[in-house]
Amino acid sequence: MGRHNQKGVIMDAAVNVVQRAGAAHLTIDAVAQESGLSKGGVLYHFPNKRALLEGMLQSLLSDVSLRTERFRQKLGDTPGAMLRAFIHSELDQSDRERAMSRAILAAAAENPQLLAPAREYLGDRVKELRSTSDGGDQRLVVFLALQGLMLMEMLGLTPLSQSESRQVRGVMDAMIAEAGS
């Protein structure tokens, strides 16, 4: 197994630990056991838990960016395409991505600096929205509502079923289209 593949195996093992036992049980030892690698093998790629969490965050942001771009290409030049793509991308997160988000959020409670890349990513999205002359303020409100929904889901507080979440996405799409008219 190549070194790059081992990093993926380690991050998958970390996600499995979080999904099965919760973010509080994410340790290098637990990841080593889950991955079938030695503790030294895990530490070679991720010298500590913070480095593992940083790797998970980078992976998560990369996945969201790629998925958003795919949706953006499908939407073409329709009104609010960038925000609509972001909404679809965020609401279509996998269980794996949600588990990664929970682990990162739990760790950030002790070390808020861990979220610096996410702050930058979201800051860039807000700048994009503010630069839009067609309904930028309304789109910003929709974006912030989406972030609230995502946080509720990460914390396990959402009162919405998956079907209701899809319905909310439809309402957000309509609001964005209306803002651009």
In this prediction the pTM is 0.79
Alpha helices of 22-80 — where are they, by DSSP H?
A: 28-35, 39-45, 49-75
- pLDDT attached to residue 155: 80
- pLDDT attached to residue 76: 87
- pLDDT attached to residue 102: 80
Angle, to 10 degrees, between the axis of helix 3-21 and the axis of helix 28-35? Answer: 110
Task: Report CA Rg, the chain.
Answer: 18
Per-residue pLDDT of the chain (181 residues; tens, 9 = 90+): 555 589 989 999 998 888 888 778 889 999 999 999 999 999 999 999 889 988 888 888 898 899 999 998 998 888 788 888 888 888 788 888 888 888 888 888 888 888 899 899 889 888 887 876 666 678 888 888 888 888 887 788 889 888 898 788 888 878 887 766 5
- pLDDT attached to residue 74: 92
Nearest CA to 51 out of 11, 12, 94, 6 is that of: 11
Q: Residues 86-100, buried b or exposed e (16+ Cβ, 10 A)?
A: bbbbbbebeebbbbb
- pLDDT attached to residue 39: 95
At 129, list the tokens: 């929205």
- pLDDT attached to residue 133: 61
Gap between the Cα atoms of 59 and 57, Å rounded: 5
For the chain, domains (ranges, CATH) are 1-47 (1.10.10), 53-179 (1.10.357)
At 146, list the tokens: 């989406």
Q: What angle do CA 92, 98, 100 make, to 5 degrees?
A: 135
Q: Are 17 and 42 in contact (CB under 8 A)?
A: no
At 116, list the tokens: 């610096």
- pLDDT attached to residue 41: 93
CA 102 to chain centre: 10
